[in-house]
Amino acid sequence: MLSLDRFAQGLPDPQEHQPGPIDECENLECSKPIYAGQRIWKHGADQYCSLRCLAESIGASDVTAL
C-alpha cells in the first residue's frame, strides 16, 4: 500500500484531505471517477477505469468471429 502521508500535509484546500477522485475515466460514456491506488488502463496520457472503456474509446470491440 502506497503511503499518501506526504500528500496529506500542507495542502491549502481542506477538501483535499478527503480521499477524492484524482481523475475520471476518459471514456465519455463512462466518466467514472478514478481514485489513487485504483488499477486502471492507460493509453498514452488517457486513463480508463476498465479495458472495455479503453477499447470502446479507441474504436475496438469484442465480437464473435464468423
Residue ranges binding Zn ion (CB under 5 A): 25, 27, 30, 32, 49, 53
Is residue 37 within 8 Å of 26, Cβ to Cβ?
no
Looking at beta carbons only, is 11 or 22 nearer to Zn ion? 22
Looking at beta carbons only, is 32 or 55 nearer to Zn ion? 32
Q: How far is the CB of 5 from Zn ion (least distance, A)?
A: 29
Looking at beta carbons only, is 10 or 44 nearer to Zn ion? 44
> CA of 12: how far to CAs of 4, 16, 17, 18, in Å?
16, 8, 10, 13
- Which residues, listed in sequence order, are joined to residue 23 by a DSSP beta bridge? 34
